Chain A
Amino acid sequence: MSTTDIEQELTTEQQAVVDAVNAAAAATTAEMSDQEKYGVQFDHGLAWVNFPVGDGGLGVSTSLREFAADQMTKAGLQPPPRGSNTIGFGMAAPTIVAYGNEEQRAVLRKIYTLETIFCQLFSEPGAGSDLAAVATRAVRNEDGYLINGQKVWTSSAHNADMAILVARTDTEVPKHQGLSYFLLDMHAPGVEVRGLRQITGEAEFNEVFLTDVQIPAGYMLGEPGQGWKISNTTLNNERVAIGGGNPREGGMIAQVAKTWRDNPEYRDPLLHDELVRLWVEVEASRMMSERLSQKLAAGQPGPEGSGAKLAFATNNQLLSGLEIALSGVDGLRYDTYEMRRPVEHSMTGRIPGYRYLRAKGNSIEGGTSEIIRNIIAERVLGLPGEHRVDKDVAFKDLPK
């Protein structure tokens, strides 16, 4: 495509992206460290192009993120690996840009340059799917807030520098109204992180104990009592992050199809039909995600995001279970149950047994499949909400 072709087709917003990419490319030198290069990209508004100018964005529509990524690749600009700061990129940043004051928004640059790794202190032993039931207390004192409580299933807490935290500032009001949202320094005194060994053997996530942790008042995001509303911004961003953009036969289906092709000795007509059926299922699911991203790009957000999360979990679990059966006795070999921190989050790098066990979490993390079905039924199909016994009762009076 010639330059003139591009110019003819570009919208004003696209032109703004192209200009920023060119400027960032010109300001980047080979001698720079990765961190410095990421800083240049941030300063030119290429971190999240839909964010406001000054916050790592250009104030253009969200649909241009893919376009910006393509342009950056073409210009030789390497963005930071998002997997190194998943919570920071996917959840903390959009929430901070929506609710943070100027001082708080300063952390956006450090998220992008990977100087500040985030984790998410939401779930508690008594508050998983029922997130509004968190019991961790944040009590106002002269220096800000004093935090006490226990969080659990916190991915990457062991690497994190900062956390987004939901804690209870008021027990006299019903549970949804008494929550507040904080940024927490994970290096502060009183923060203790303990690796939590999981079904695969590794310690991907953690328990986090918060004992008399002092947070400055300026670390609260939004107003006291706004915690539920703000955490929903975070969770919506979390679900949108899943699904979409896979090529045909990408992800888990690729792995299982390969196992089929590599192991003719274990082929069976019924397993064959099951595999082809799942191949079709994954393909149909991929088409739906593709349609969702086209709708988003056209400014017509659809409800399919929750569906993609549900389909992803179900298909991954069925496929990883099938892969064991297609591997004969080798399907029963395991590589290591040694408790260690995961080096990466790739499902495909290890053995079928690991994938089978790890995939069990797909229907729990980021909202259980049961909660997702409730969300689809209520928000997409307009069916009545679940009967609630805890809605108008002060948190302190709820049976625990």
Chain B
Amino acid sequence: MTDIDLLPSEIEEDLRDSIRSLLESKSDSAFVASLYDDPDTDTSALDAAWAEELGLAALLVPEELDGAGATISEAAVVSEEIGRAVAPVRFFSSAVVATTLAVRLGATELVERLAAGEAFAAVACPATSATLDSGVTVVESGEDAVVNGTVPGVIEAAGADELIVVSGSGDDTIVASVAAADAKAEAFLTLDQSRRLADVTFADAPARVLGRGAQAADAVRAATVIGRTILAAEQYGVAQRSFDLALDYIKERRQFGRTIGSYQAIKHRMADLWLAVSQAGAAVTYAARVASAWQAGEETIEEAELCSLVAGSYASTVAVNAAEEALQMHGGNGMTWEFPLHLYLKRAKADELILGHAAAQRRQLAPLIDITLD
């Protein structure tokens, strides 16, 4: 426990610098806002930059599969920066959750395509699902399967090349992959347009079985724990950036002949927010370090799961609170399109529901800490 190092490593700081400068140059807030006016805004240059040039699509892929073999702590740093920039990149859905499933199930060919940035994948479950369960019918015959059903609100399904379907639980778990051309993904206008959702329909869609039984169940659990940890890091990034924007603003904005940051009512709220955001950062770093230790075989999945639920439930609440507070501190300007606050609020509120909202995560946490209702 106490040997978990919470200070950033040099590798992590270098990674942070490179992704921050990339996102600043290729995905500033005006670019993100343009996705609200035109969802078809061309993001291919950004995709090529993060996925291929920086190699972030291969970040969590083991070295023996030609990946970067990075730790979850390093992926968390990337995710923090994505949150800071509300960047419209498929890192969480494709490079973390889908890639983890593919790697753990030994879907080598898919992993290679994902790692190279040639293809993106999405897990076809409702964004709010805490278990990645797609809720569709998968009928197997050997290595092939046929998928039927509709999945509402799938993260970044539109534009993905592969849709991964998770069905059943425990020994009945099946994970299968459907080519995008064999399914119908209809993107809809989303609260957060920087991470769009789509309704996905499978009508006798041909699929390849990637894994089944206990091995598949383990892969789904791993992808959930890692996904939740990485999402929490993104939420911390959203929270920290919202806080920074608010702090800069209240130091400049003058009303009644003084900066609004000199009013004690504002100062005290900022002190409370700073505390919450700092604690979220510590909980996220801790969870990512524990997950990395688990990945290295030095920690149990139970501990990684517990820490992911602590970080996830805490950071999701803090991110929404920070974005809401930042908007309020901006007064009328906070309600306008020209200030970036709306981007942060929308991302924070949408993230709050992904993989289960904070209360659902606390309910999942309760038995792990022996505080049960019955």
Contacts and interface: CB of A to CB of B under 8 A. Distances in A.
Contacts of A283: 283, 310
B270 A287 contact: no
Interface stretch (A81-89, A234-242, A290-298, A357-365): A290-298
Contact of B373 (A272, A284, A298, A307): A272
A381 B270 contact: yes
Interface residues of A, number: 46
B365 A280 contact: yes
Interface string B359-373: 100110110011101
Given A280-B365, A383-B267, A291 B272 contact: no
B276 to A, nearest CB: 8
Given A280-B313, A287-B286, A377-B268, A383 B262 contact: yes
Interface stretch (B1-9, B88-96, B135-143, B217-225): B1-9
Contacts of B201: none
Residues of B contacting A: mostly? helix
Contact of B371 (A248, A272, A285, A294): A272
B274 to A, nearest CB: 6
A376 interface: yes
B261 interface: yes
B278 A304 contact: yes
Nearest to A298: B7
A330 to B, nearest CB: 19
A280 B310 contact: yes
A290 B366 contact: no
B247 A273 contact: no
A341 B178 CA distance: 73
A374 interface: yes
Contacts of B366: 272, 276
A291 to B, nearest CB: 4
Contacts of B5: 294
Interface string A268-311: 01001101110111011101101100110010100010010011
B283 A287 contact: yes
A376 B275 contact: yes
Interface string A364-397: 0000001011101110111110110000000000
A257 interface: yes
A273 B373 CA distance: 9
Contact of A261 (B282, B283, B370): B370
24 contacts: A264-B374, A267-B374, A272-B371, A272-B373, A276-B366, A276-B371, A279-B365, A280-B365, A284-B282, A290-B282, A290-B286, A291-B285, A295-B7, A300-B7, A307-B275, A372-B271, A373-B267, A373-B268, A373-B272, A381-B271, A383-B250, A383-B261, A383-B262, A387-B262
Q: 5 closest A-B pairs (Cβ-Cβ)?
A: A377-B267, A287-B282, A373-B271, A384-B262, A376-B271
Given A257-B371, A272-B373, A373-B272, 7 more contacts: A276-B369, A279-B371, A287-B283, A307-B274, A307-B279, A370-B268, A374-B264
Interface of A: 247-249, 257, 260-261, 264, 267, 269, 272-273, 275-277, 279-281, 283-285, 287-288, 290-291, 294-295, 298, 300, 304, 307, 310-311, 370, 372-374, 376-378, 380-384, 386-387
Interface of B: 1-2, 4-7, 247, 250-251, 258-259, 261-262, 264, 266-268, 270-272, 274-275, 278-283, 285-286, 310, 313-314, 359, 362-363, 365-366, 369-371, 373-374
